[in-house]
Amino acid sequence: MTADELDEIKLKGRWPIKFSDFYNHYFFALFPLMFVLIGASMLYSGNINSLSDLKILGWGFIIGGSLLFIVIIKKLIQNQTFENYQIENLTADKIRAALKPLKFANIYYHKAGYFVLTMRVSLFSWGEEVTLIFEDSEIFINSRPRQPVTFGRDRKNIRTIVAALQAAE
């Protein structure tokens, strides 16, 4: 990450969108759209053949696919944005000491002024990358899991990190 990207993140509070985001993250939004397309074809076929069961099933696919699409897009937008916290007297050494007991797979500190933490892959998680950007008394935290649905685990990890940093203060 360059200094310009860091400044942009601090200013806008979110990752800049890159082409790689589409095949790494946004690809998952296509699956619910396929359900909507299948539902639309079922609805069309039900109307042509006057089959009320197919019409009902088609509407179910359309509504279910649309709701799933909204949930996934909301989650993807949430993974793009950084949460901003005010914690006084933060230094790289204090952050490193606070993060060490949390048992991340890897903790990388970059000289530009940010940390990248990686989570282990488990049965229910494909891994996660947490980015901490700190400056004076302000810290920006973002969690980017590799799977589209995390059941709140990424938010829990951010709360755990913030609690550890506040305790180190």
3-state SS class at 112: coil
Let me know whether 89 and 163 are in one domain. Answer: yes
**DSSP string of 114-163?**
EEEEEPPP-SS---EEEEEEEETTEEEEEEEESSS--TTHHHHHHHHHHH
Let me know whether 98 and 88 are in one domain. Answer: yes
Let me know whether 77 and 95 are in one domain. Answer: no
Let me know whether 66 and 143 are in one domain. Answer: no
Instruction: Report which residue type is found at 85.
Output: Y
DSSP 105: S
Let me know whether 32 and 87 are in one domain. Answer: no
Let me know whether 132 and 160 are in one domain. Answer: yes
Q: What is the mean pLDDT of residues 158-163?
A: 90
Res 168: pLDDT: 78
Let me know whether 91 and 160 are in one domain. Answer: yes
Residue 21 has pLDDT above 80, yes or no: no
Boundary-marking domain end, from 60, 81, 102: 81
> Maximum Cα–Cα distance for the chain, whole Å?
70
Give pLDDT tens digits for 145-158: 877 666 777 788 88
26-30, 42-46, 82-86 — which one is most confidently predicted on average?
Answer: 42-46
For the whole model, what pTM was predicted? 0.74
Res 149: pLDDT: 65
Res 104: pLDDT: 84
Res 15: pLDDT: 84
Give pLDDT tens digits for 83-121: 999 988 888 888 888 888 887 888 899 988 899 998 877
Q: At what angle do helices 30-49 and 52-80 cross, to 10 degrees?
A: 160
pLDDT grade, residue 20 (50/70/90)? Answer: confident
d(CA 138, CA 113): 12
Residue 55 has pLDDT above 90, yes or no: yes
Let me know whether 75 and 22 are in one domain. Answer: yes
**Which range of residues forms the domain containing residue 139?**
82-168
Residue 65 has pLDDT above 70, yes or no: yes
Boundary-marking domain end, from 64, 81, 98: 81
Question: Residue 25's CB: how many other CB atoms inside 10 A?
Answer: 20
Res 8: pLDDT: 87
Let me know whether 75 and 87 are in one domain. Answer: no
Boundary-marking domain end, from 81, 102, 117: 81
| CATH number for position 96 | 3.30.310.80
Let me know whether 95 and 137 are in one domain. Answer: yes
Let me know whether 86 and 164 are in one domain. Answer: yes
Which residues 6+ apart lie within 8 Å of 43 measured at CB? Answer: 54, 55, 58, 59, 62
Domains of the chain: total: 2
Q: What is the mean pLDDT of residues 125-130?
A: 80
> Under a CB-based contact definition with an 8 Å cutoff, are residues 55 and 39 in contact?
no
Contacts of 12-17 spanning 24+ positions with Cβ under 8 A: 13/81, 13/82, 13/84, 13/140, 14/80, 14/81, 14/82, 15/80, 15/81, 15/82, 15/142, 15/144, 17/80
Distance of CA 101 to the CA centre of its chain: 24
Let me know whether 139 and 151 are in one domain. Answer: yes
